[in-house]
Chain A
Amino acid sequence: MSGPDTALPDTALVVDLWRGDAGGGGLVRYRVPVDPGQTILDVLTWVQRHAEPGLAYRFACRVGMCGSCAVMVNGVPRWACRTRAIPVARQGRLEIRPLRHFPVIRDLVVDFEAFFARWRRALGRFAPASPPPDALAVIAPDASDRQLVDAAIECIGCGICLAACDSVGANPDYLGPAALNRAWAAVNDRRDDTMGHLRAAARDGGVHACHAQGSCRRFCPVGRDPAGAIVGLKRRLLVAALKGRL
C-alpha cells in the first residue's frame, strides 16, 4: 500500500502472527513500525490497515473493559488493548497467537462457546434460595461475606485465566478458573442457595482438577484471584462433605 503512514522507519517490530483457521495455519511475519506507547492492539490494527486487510482479530472497547481482545503474546496470554508492545517484545520480536485452549475460528479470533458452557456447568450465576425471604437482604459493604464477593466479581470474561491454566490443558473436562471464580462469588452471596454451586464444583472436572499452579491469578489482567476462589470452594466443599450435605 502507498501513503505517508506506511513507510517503515529505521526501527520496526518483527511480528509473527498466527494466521489460519480451524483446519490449521502457521506464523506469518510482518514488520510493523515502532511507535512509542503502541499497544499490541495497535500492532494488530496496523497490520490489518497496511499489510493484511483480511486479518481477523477481535476488539471492542479498547480500554480494558470488554475482555474481547485477549491473545497470546510471546507465549503469555494478555489483553491486547492494554499491553504495550515494546516492553513485552523479545529483542524486537513479537509472536502473537490465538488464545490457548480455545478452538480457533480464524486467525486470532477464537470460539468462546466452550468457555461460557463451563460457566453454565459450574452454575456460575446467582441462584437464589427459594422461597425468597419476605424482606430484602441488607448487606453492609464492609461485611466479611460482601468483601469475598467484591474480590471475585468484575471479571471481564476475557478468557486469559483459562488460556493460562495448564490444568485445563491437561484435563479438558475441568471447569476452569473463570467459571469457578463466578461460582465462588455466588457462594458468598448470602441470598444465594449456595449448595447448587458446591454440588457443581464437586462434579467430575470440578475444583479438585485444579493443581493450584496459580497461573490464573498471575495473568488475570484485572487482578482477580480465581486460584483463591478455588481454594475457598475446596474448603467449603470439605466442610459440606464432612457434614454429609453433598
Chain B
Amino acid sequence: MTEFRLFLIQRITAGLLLVMGVAHLAILLAATQAPLSAAAILARTHANPFWPAFYAVFAMTAATHAALGLRVIAREWLGWRGTAWGIGLWAVLVTLGLRAAWIIA
C-alpha cells in the first residue's frame, strides 16, 4: 500500500508539474521578451509574495516527483531497495528548491 500511495503522489505531482511547468515557461518567455534585467525580475519577485510562493510549491513538487522517480529507477536498475537514500535525496532537492525560492522572496 505504501508503494501505491507513493505512486499516487508521483502521478499527482506529475499533473501539477505539467501545469506549473507550462506557467514557468510562459513566465520565462514573458520576462525575456519584455526584456527584463535580472535586477528588474528580482524587484518584481521581492514586491509580490505570489512569486516566491509559486516557485516554492513548484520546486517542492519537482523535488518530490524526481526523488520518487529516481527511487523506482534505482530499485529496478541498481537493486537499491533501501529507503534512506531516497528520503535523503528528497530532502536535498527540497532544500535546494526552497533555498532558491527564499532568495527571490
Contact = CB atoms under 8 A, between A and B. Distances in A.
A208 B2 contact: no
B1 A203 contact: yes
Interface string B1-43: 1111111100100000000000000000000000000000000
Nearest to B1: A202
Given A170-B76, A171-B75, A208 B1 contact: no
A203 B76 contact: no
B52 to A, nearest CB: 30
A153 interface: no
B77 A241 contact: no
Contact of A204 (B1, B8, B11, B76): B1
B37 to A, nearest CB: 44
Contact of B8 (A167, A203, A238): A238
Interface residues of A, number: 15
Interface in A199-234: 202-209
Contacts of A167: 76
Contacts of A171: 75-76
Interface string B49-84: 000000000000000000000000001110000000
Contacts of B3: 203-206, 208-209
A241 B11 CA distance: 13
Given A208-B7, A238-B8, A241-B8, A246 B75 contact: no
A204 B2 contact: yes
Contacts of A205: 3
A206 B11 CA distance: 15
A242 to B, nearest CB: 9
Contacts of A206: 3-4
A237 B4 CA distance: 9
Contact of A202 (B4, B11, B75, B77): B4
B77 A246 contact: no
A238 B11 CA distance: 10
Given A203-B1, A203-B3, A238-B8, 16 more contacts: A170-B76, A171-B75, A171-B76, A202-B1, A203-B4, A204-B1, A204-B2, A204-B4, A205-B3, A208-B3, A208-B6, A208-B7, A237-B4, A241-B4, A241-B8, A246-B4
Interface of A: 167, 170-171, 202-209, 237-238, 241, 246
25 contacts: A167-B76, A170-B76, A170-B77, A171-B75, A171-B76, A202-B1, A202-B4, A203-B1, A203-B3, A203-B4, A204-B1, A204-B2, A204-B3, A204-B4, A206-B4, A208-B3, A208-B4, A208-B6, A208-B8, A237-B4, A238-B11, A241-B4, A241-B5, A241-B8, A246-B4
